[in-house]
Amino acid sequence: MMKKVIVTFLFVCSWTMAIDFDYELTGSNQSVLIGSSVSVNGAIDDGSVIGAFYKSNDGELKCAGSGLWMNNQSVGFAIWGSMGTEDNGFAQGEELTWMLQHLDGSLTELFMIYGDGGANIYQTNSFRWISEVLVVESQGCTDDRFVEYNPFTSIDDGSCVTPVIYGCLNSDSPFYNPNANTTDDSCDPLAIYGCTQAQFYEYNEWATIDDGSCHVYWQALYYDGVWEIEDLEEEVVDLQVDISQADNMYEELLIQLQNVQSLLEETESALGLSLIRVEDLENQLYDLNAENTELEDEVVNQQILIDQMEEELAVGIDEPIAVDIVSGWNMIGFTRKVPMDAGALFQDILDDVILIKDNSANMFWPEFGFNGLGNLLPGQGYQIKVREDIDDFIFPYVVGERLEMNAMVPDWAFEMAPNHPNEERKLVRKLNLLGQQVFGDVFMSGETILYLYSDGSVEKFIY
């Protein structure tokens, strides 16, 4: 994987709210593929999460699609659009905000450059591939001992100025601290919560505010103790009776032990005769075990034949069903009775297949060597887009077969990607936050412009 590790640190807005990477499957979507050969400007650890976010009606960032980043592997996922007038996904033409969640939970903004050179917006039923990922690092205060502390900042820029001073911020309180900038409980230091009633076991002589913790009266505890003593006295009497009975039982057991010893001597004499008989029985058992082993082997062989016959009966014989596939988008169902690999099923017509998607927007994109479907499932429907008409297509029977696919980027994709000469640092292009190229040097006040240079670095200016 080609990685560009030159990073230009930019001043960006830090995120002060928790961001959730869960999303809702709404119906319409846009497919996105980040290939294993994507150019990465910055560092992204294995196991990090990448997500596309839209701005809700409340002004909050909401996730509409996410994927798990693994270096040297392609990642493909769907970005979901809103359903009707509901605020649960992207609107047509809405700008995408890309976020990266690191392994430690910290967040970083990403800037995506698409292989087709298009804008960073949502388009229903489109499929886009990303040629370059820019990691935008933020600067700020990283020390929580200062008021300016920002938990989402990754680079300390020396902006930690005001130390945190705890105290009472209520100017009407006699304990008001004019030097404090962070509130604590010092506005009411004499408030002690507890049981304020002396007749209860839970009574706290230092408490000033009764918190309802008074439950058990002292008198109730006294009578409970008296009753427990009476119960213990009764238990002592019972134990004395048990001890007397135990003494009598001991004498009886001693007589029984003597009788047992006599029986044991007689048994030892009879045991000598029994040992001879045991040897004869052991010899017979050995012969029976040998015969049983042969029978068990035969049973195992017969069971294997039965299992094979049951498996063949369960699978059955599929009746071939021919389907006509027209140029463009089609909806077809998988007619075989067992799951089979998508690559092996479409291997004979692979040159004509553009894209295949299931109901969850998982995709099979052969030009990029990406199989996000795995196996096709019996009875499931799939969308397929082809270049030419295919008449009388029949799913082949390829149980156990699998087409190995290698991640790649087709030649036409490289021809669309911009060149970045590295002999000397030159300005390649200027982009706005929609990913559109801009020209000239005069911009509106407050407009943000990204400068992309030939050595892979990026600079961000706000005019």
Per-domain boundaries in the chain = 1-158+418-463, 323-393
Mean pLDDT of 305-330: 75
- The Cα–Cα gap between 355 and 220 comes to 80
**Average pLDDT for 45-51:** 93
pTM of the model: 0.44
Q: What is the pLDDT of residue 306?
A: 77
Rounded-to-integer distance, Cα 389 and Cα 412, Å: 23
Share of the chain residues as helix, strand and coil, in percent rounded to the nearest 5: 25, 30, 45
Q: Give the largest CA-CA distance in the chain.
A: 118
Q: Residue 100 is which amino acid?
A: L
Mean pLDDT of the chain: 84
Q: How confident is the model at residue 13 (pLDDT cuts 50, 70, 90)?
A: very low
Residues with Cβ within 8 Å of residue 371, at least 6 apart in sequence: 341, 342, 343, 364, 403, 405
Instruction: Give 312 or 38, the one with higher predicted confidence.
Output: 38
Strands (E), 138-296: 139-140, 155-156, 166-167, 182-183, 193-194, 209-210
Q: How far out from the chain centre does Cα 247 lie?
A: 69
458: nearest Cα among 355, 443, 433? 433
Average pLDDT over residues 246-270: 85
User: What's the confidence (pLDDT) of residue 175?
Assistant: 82
Of the two residues 379 and 316, the one the predictor is more confident about is: 379
Angle at 222 between CA 221 and CA 225, to 5 degrees: 85
Tokens 């359903």: give the residue.
83
Sheet strands (E) in 81-171:
97-101, 107-114, 127-136, 139-140, 155-156, 166-167
- Angstrom distance (rounded) from CA 348 to CA 237: 94
